């Protein structure tokens, strides 16, 4: 087989895989413009029901309140997670000793625990602290994750110790070294971490379902779940709600996709 034939087969394979990958997104957009009966029938052409689906959605759900809740929780979680996890990862790598290494191993071992095993004790603890239906109750289990700590610790391995020593000799504080020297050099890692954290926080369903007992505190994934809980489901309206929910994470990813790829690559070197 010639090189030209190999390239043709490779490109054909990649095109097919790409089309299969984007088909669910395309189908979701098309379904948002059609009636429920057309969605069920598998119609693959755009319809004229978009505005009607939007009116029905707004009439049945307080969409923009839920959107604001999701945005607020996701943004705050992302900011705090980046700060806490990057500080922890940096400290574990720069100020190493045997005790910290043992603690780090224990932190990594918690990755093997499924979240469902922690939900009941977390709910009881947060309930006793009057943190139900609160932003703080949503945030606390999410602002520090073993994966992000490991990611930032791995990234810190590439941070030259000579720069740290020179900064100390010049009188720069340890926090000054972190904020003024480490953070600017790790932009790609922060971009990758921000993308992962924002997506996880935005799409989080299980913990908000447990901690947010009031309707006014619900998030977009919880709203979508409620749209399918009745006797009949309006699939056109449902697909429009899913499309609105998908847009923020898609925008964040497309804006940061280059830095995301660089950050992930740098984090695993």
Residue 140: CB partners within 8 Å, gap ≥ 6?
126, 131
Res. 51 pLDDT band, cuts 50 70 90:
very high
The string of pLDDT tens digits covering residues 207-235 is 888 888 888 888 899 888 888 766 778 88
The string of pLDDT tens digits covering residues 115-158 is 888 888 888 888 888 888 888 888 888 888 888 998 898 888 88
First to last CA, the chain: 35
Distances (CA, A) of 25 to 18, 40, 85, 235, 247: 12, 16, 32, 15, 11
- Closest to 263 (Cα-Cα) out of 174, 164, 158, 165: 158
Buried residues in 159-188 as b, exposed as e (16+ CB within 10 A): beeeebeebeeeebeeeebbeebbbeebeb
pLDDT recorded at residue 72 = 92
pLDDT recorded at residue 264 = 64
56 pLDDT above the threshold of 80? yes
Res. 269 pLDDT band, cuts 50 70 90:
very low
Assess contact for 40 and 217: CB atoms under 8 A: no
Assess contact for 34 and 49: CB atoms under 8 A: yes
pLDDT recorded at residue 184 = 87
How far is it, in rounded angstroms, from Cα 132 to Cα 211?
A: 5
Average pLDDT, the chain: 86
């Amino acid at each position: 087989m010639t090189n030209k034939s190999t390239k043709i087969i490779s490109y054909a394979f990649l095109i097919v895989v790409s089309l299969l990958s984007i088909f669910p997104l395309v189908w979701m957009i098309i379904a948002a413009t059609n009636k429920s009966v057309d969605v069920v029938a598998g119609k693959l052409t755009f319809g004229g029901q978009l505005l009607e689906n939007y009116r029905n959605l707004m009439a049945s759900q307080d969409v923009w309140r839920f959107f604001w809740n999701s945005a607020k929780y996701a943004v705050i979680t992302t900011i705090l997670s980046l700060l806490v996890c990057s500080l922890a990862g940096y400290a574990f790598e720069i100020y190493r000793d045997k005790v910290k290494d043992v603690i780090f191993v224990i932190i990594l071992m918690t990755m093997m625990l499924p979240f469902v095993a922690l939900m009941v004790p977390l709910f009881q603890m947060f309930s006793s602290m009057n943190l139900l239906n609160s932003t703080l109750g949503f945030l606390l289990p999410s602002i520090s994750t073993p994966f992000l700590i490991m990611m930032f610790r791995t990234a810190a391995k590439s941070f030259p110790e000579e720069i740290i020593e020179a900064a100390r000799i010049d009188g720069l504080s340890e926090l000054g070294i972190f904020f003024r020297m480490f953070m600017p050099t790790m932009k790609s890692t922060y971009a990758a971490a921000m993308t992962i954290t924002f997506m996880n926080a935005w799409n989080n369903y299980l913990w908000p379902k447990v901690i947010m007992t009031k309707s006014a505190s619900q998030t977009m994934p919880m709203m979508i779940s409620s749209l399918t809980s009745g006797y009949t489901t309006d699939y056109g309206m449902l697909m429009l709600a899913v499309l609105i929910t998908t847009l923020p994470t898609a925008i964040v990813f497309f804006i940061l996709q280059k830095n995301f790829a660089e950050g992930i690559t740098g984090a695993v070197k």
